[in-house]
Chain A
């Protein structure tokens, strides 16, 4: 399945599941939880992935991004 660290910039994605502990709670609080739709602002293959979620940009380290499973949102 597609993980966030492989997402292309500009993509609109729906979070399917998040795998991890501790910091997961912080992700939830920031609105990054299964079902949320996010937009990839930047992903250059190195460094953090930058997302827009509920109108806010959030930088996420690649290790965390690898544990966030996503799917493309069909436009229209």
Chain B
């Protein structure tokens, strides 16, 4: 069977994921784009004797190499790997979203333009003459609907047809008016230069005149300084001739081309509602209150399903002890713990060799357990968030909180990575990419590890069971308040420090219309975020849990021991025992806390199991009395565990996102410092309470 490669391109919110999901039936391969950590999705389908490889290009507004995503899309299109590109236009926003397809047509010939959400066009009173568009654009133009499946078969027919017969004979020509003579003159110059032959010369000339940095560098590199200097002269003249920023001029020309198409081919039966109710989210006070209330209730719901907290605390405060226990026991985390404990016991009892039994039970099952135990918890957080996002609520909430976030140097857009981080920090830190400035992105990457993920919630809940006089809720409450205060203070401080170079954080966010979330899309988005946890955390946590097993099962002389207090890890912890002196934890078993913290570096939840192992206690309460901790010390350690160095998976994400060992080291330093400062403060404040 012949194979063709088809790329799908479209602006954010045009319904690209829904479309891609529908076509590939969610059978998708995920890889990274070469050299970067942006994901590449590929799927396969068959149509009319062809095996079609579908490649999802990142959602971008244009192809100016402005962002990493734009550079990826652009170099993929230029690379010629795709036989056909499906360029998506949102039928409900037909002008704005045609901008990307127009840019593609200027540099690529085999294009099929698909108008998505066609089912909604009628009710919005939008009528489009697709034949007229086809004539003007010179490529097939097909209305489709992912919700009803309308037009999909016909679209694929057209894709195959273009793959067989080719699309346009030449690139789309837009009239750039006063810029034309300069475009020609740059093109003439480019004709002399061998190195840039592979690029469409008119497109290249326009982009160069618009001041594209990536291409300008390429020009001076491939064609030499002379060509570059004379190009700079032409550019200066062109700037004078058009009388304003060339890229603004060119963008305006592209839009006026779109508007002339629209006048010809689009009829709006009704003038769109000029008096639509203004969203309450936009009001500075109501919007913020609404956003925060919504966020809080979402997370209360998620936490209760996942861990029973805070519903169990409320119930026990009401005297409903039994009900509270049931809520906790039948929460996801309670059920998982039971299942995995049973499996570990099975391994220990059925394998005769003690070394092997310990390896399987503690190293392998323990490692898999720490990943599996969190998968459903993270899944639920991400699912609810995706639901809120797909419905169009999240961008509105971002507007609602933005007055608050700008005070600490973050734009409203930061709401996305912050909320995702409550599930798992790994996809949260990757989400920092959406920041408008490099400075804000770095600040987000450095501070997002302070947002308590599900793993830290579980540690706090485990420690809470060991409190003697203070209520268990105080542990979780203090942990979250400390974490978020640290997040706010650190952001504010970093923002202030960089103030001289940094303008106020800015928001620039498209707010799509509300719509009923589509199950498929929500699942797609959920899975996308969870997958980061699985890939990063999965590989790193699993391999390091084997290392941890080895460090805690062998003595410094490398003989196997079933008493972890003789192990290498224990020896190291004894040396590092002074680390917990600031909390006045100085007893002879103080090192056991350090042991837990060392192990918790791999994945925070390992703190709990390693404390139990090292103390040999059956539960947290006894473990704490073995070590000899007061309630105040326990809470301080809970706070410390929440804040100190992020887990290995998070650290490696920080490194892969910044590609800077210095920044990664800085983040460790910052978080360690913050952790000590805040947990010591918490400890001394608590000792003041009689």
Q: Which residues of B contact A56 (CB under 8 A)?
A: 93, 96, 510-512
Complex Cα gap A59–B278 (Å): 13
| Chain B: CB-nearest residue to A56 | B93
Chain A interface helix/strand/loop/mixed: mixed
Complex Cα gap A55–B268 (Å): 12
Which residue of B95, B251, B399 contacts A54 across the interface (Cβ within 8 Å)? B95
| Chain B: CB-nearest residue to A65 | B506
Q: Is the CB of A61 within 8 A of B248?
A: no
Is residue B255 contacting chain A, with contact meaning CB distance below 8 A?
A: yes
Q: Mark A17-44, 1 if CB is under 8 A from B, else 0.
A: 1100011111111110111100101101
19 contacts between A and B (CB under 8 A): A25-B66, A29-B62, A29-B251, A31-B96, A31-B255, A33-B248, A33-B251, A33-B255, A35-B252, A42-B282, A42-B283, A46-B284, A47-B282, A47-B403, A54-B95, A54-B96, A56-B512, A58-B508, A59-B399
| Chain B: CB-nearest residue to A19 | B245
Binding site for A on B (CB under 8 A): 61-62, 64, 66, 92-93, 95-96, 99, 244-245, 247-248, 251-252, 255, 272, 274, 278-279, 282-284, 287, 395, 398-399, 402-403, 406, 411-412, 436-437, 503-512
Q: Is the CB of B248 within 8 A of A28?
A: yes
CB distance from B487 to the nearest CB of A (A): 21
Q: Is the CB of B251 within 8 A of A59?
A: no
Is residue A72 contacting chain B, with contact meaning CB distance below 8 A?
A: no
CB distance from A72 to the nearest CB of B (A): 15
Complex Cα gap A47–B66 (Å): 26
**Known interface pairs A42-B279, A55-B272; A30-B510 also in contact (CB < 8 Å):** yes
Q: Is the CB of A29 within 8 A of B99?
A: yes
**Known interface pairs A24-B248, A47-B287; A63-B506 also in contact (CB < 8 Å):** yes
Which residue of A18, A24, A59, A64 contacts B395 across the interface (Cβ within 8 Å)? A59
CB distance from A49 to the nearest CB of B (A): 9
Kindly state the interface size class of chain A when it binds its partner. 35 or more
Complex Cα gap A23–B247 (Å): 12
Q: Is the CB of A41 within 8 A of B278?
A: yes
Q: Is the CB of B95 within 8 A of A31?
A: yes
| Chain A: CB-nearest residue to B96 | A54
Which residue of A25, A31, A54, A64 contacts B506 across the interface (Cβ within 8 Å)? A64
Complex Cα gap A33–B402 (Å): 24
Q: Which residues of A contact B252 (CB under 8 A)?
A: 28, 33-35
Binding site for B on A (CB under 8 A): 9, 17-18, 22-31, 33-36, 39, 41-42, 44-48, 50, 53-64
Complex Cα gap A9–B412 (Å): 21
**Known interface pairs A23-B436, A53-B96, A59-B507; A48-B255 also in contact (CB < 8 Å):** no
Q: Is the CB of B403 within 8 A of A55?
A: no
Q: Is the CB of A50 within 8 A of B282?
A: yes
Q: Which residues of B contact A23 (CB under 8 A)?
A: 436, 506, 508
CB distance from A73 to the nearest CB of B (A): 13
CB distance from A56 to the nearest CB of B (A): 5
Q: Which residues of A contact B512 (CB under 8 A)?
A: 56
Q: Which residues of A contact B504 (CB under 8 A)?
A: 61-63
CB distance from B257 to the nearest CB of A (A): 13
CB distance from B407 to the nearest CB of A (A): 11
Q: Is the CB of A44 within 8 A of B284?
A: yes
**Known interface pairs A31-B255, A63-B503; A58-B511 also in contact (CB < 8 Å):** yes
Complex Cα gap A36–B251 (Å): 11
Q: Which residues of A contact B99 (CB under 8 A)?
A: 29, 31
CB distance from B96 to the nearest CB of A (A): 4
CB distance from B392 to the nearest CB of A (A): 10
Q: Is the CB of B278 within 8 A of A48?
A: no
**Known interface pairs A55-B96, A55-B272; A48-B283 also in contact (CB < 8 Å):** no
Q: Which residues of B contact A24 (CB under 8 A)?
A: 245, 247-248
Q: Which residues of A contact B245 (CB under 8 A)?
A: 24
Q: Is the CB of B508 within 8 A of A9?
A: no
**Known interface pairs A58-B508, A58-B509; A46-B403 also in contact (CB < 8 Å):** yes
Complex Cα gap A11–B419 (Å): 34
Q: Is the CB of A48 within 8 A of B96?
A: no
CB distance from A47 to the nearest CB of B (A): 4
Q: Which residues of B contact A17 (CB under 8 A)?
A: 244
Q: Is the CB of B61 within 8 A of A29?
A: yes
Q: Is the CB of A34 within 8 A of B508?
A: no
Complex Cα gap A55–B271 (Å): 11
| Chain A: CB-nearest residue to B250 | A28
Which residue of A36, A41, A42, A59 contacts B509 across the interface (Cβ within 8 Å)? A59
